[in-house]
Amino acid sequence: MVRLQAILTRLRWTISLPIIADLELLLTWGSHPHGLVVVLIAALLAGAVLAAVHHAEVVAHQVGEPLGSLLLAVAVTVIEVGLIVALMVSGGAGTETLARDTVFSAVMVCINGIAGVALLIGALRHRLAVFNPEGTGAALAAVSTVAVLCLVLPRFTTSHAGPIFTGAQLSFAASASLAVYVLFVLTQTGRYRDFFLPVDAAGEVLEEDDGPHAGTPGVRAAAISGIALLVALVGVVGLAKVESGAIKDGVHALGMPDAVVGVVIALLVLLPESIAAIRQARADRVQVSLNLAFGSAMASIGLTIPAIAVASHWIDGPLALGLDPTQMVLLAITLVVSMLTVVPGRAKTLHAGLHLVLFASFLFLAANP
């Protein structure tokens, strides 16, 4: 009882901030805020992100790994889909490539940004960042398959001019992506679950109570956090959409291409996973950080593309999914470097540095194509 009261006391600000963020969302939805309102929304957005990370950790402690990481990735991605669809329905310049740019940005943020920082923290703290190559390798294989199928092949198909799938091709790609995602989830949560659990320096799987937070918060506290997590995520993505007008104005004022809008959206939406992954890496659970990184990348493609394929029936204009040549080169070298990083099951600071250099290259080339 004392432990539950302590948890509920800690939850006060993490519950109130998401509620305030959602109320602000109701007041500003459909508007184009300026000045101090933009600053207020940004502050509430940051608070909702921190609250979402906390609640995700509480739920993860209750359900265990890797299901906890999977739940956060799916929750964020489902709402990300709603954000992309809402922006595409609103129309305007650059919306035909918004889904592509956002999904590609999410993949680069996850594989190079989140994973790179997690590996760097693990390597700096213990000389080597240790993880299970069988589980992480399976996740990388799934991400590579759907990324090439959905984002690269449209550039090489001949049934339609340009980087666009035909209706039949889009339906097949969406179905194949969803099938791979389902197989990935069954692998991660089924008989191969041990491959996605944290390991020690010798490569032995750690028991559930060997993590940084022994014990579980209890069903009641976890249920409260589960509801609060959904409330916080609605606030995060909804306020990100409200801010999208100011983001577009800022991007255009700086003379940057429309693809930067997709980058900013991906960075905002993936903030909860990013912070959670860094915390796990600092707690010597690099495997959980990689679960978040690769799981979020997989969900960003495996769930987003099928949803966009369905929504395309109600969206006017073309849906360009094929990457530009520069993006394809970045994706190719990212997948090669990731494979070389994952295979040994141990990463040095060099590996982390390579991923972070690729992430910096992605950000620079998005703004300066």
What would the mean pLDDT of 290-302 be, rounded to a whole number?
89
**Which pLDDT score, from 0 to 100, does residue 199 have?**
76
Model confidence at 12: pLDDT above 70: yes
> Environment class of residue 146 by beta-carbon count within 10 Å: exposed (0-12), middle (13-18) or buried (19+)?
buried
**Strand, coil or helix: what is 346?**
strand
**Which pLDDT score, from 0 to 100, does residue 259 have?**
78
pTM: 0.80
The residues pairing with 130 across neighbouring beta strands, listed in sequence order, are 346
Query: What percentage of the chain has pLDDT greater than the value 70?
Result: 83
Angle at Cα 288 formed by Cα 287 and Cα 294, nearest 5°? 85
Measured in residues, the chain has a length of 369
Assigned architecture for domain 2-367: Up-down Bundle (1.20)
Model confidence at 323: pLDDT above 80: yes
Most confident of 64-78, 127-141, 183-197: 127-141
**Domain spans of the chain, in order of start:** 2-367
Tell me: the pLDDT tens digits for 44-65? Answer: 887 887 787 777 777 777 776 6
What would the mean pLDDT of 72-88 be, rounded to a whole number?
68
**Which pLDDT score, from 0 to 100, does residue 160 have?**
79
**Which pLDDT score, from 0 to 100, does residue 139 have?**
93
Please provide the DSSP assignment of 307-331 as one string: HHHHHGGGS-S--B-PPPHHHHHHH
**Which pLDDT score, from 0 to 100, does residue 222 have?**
77
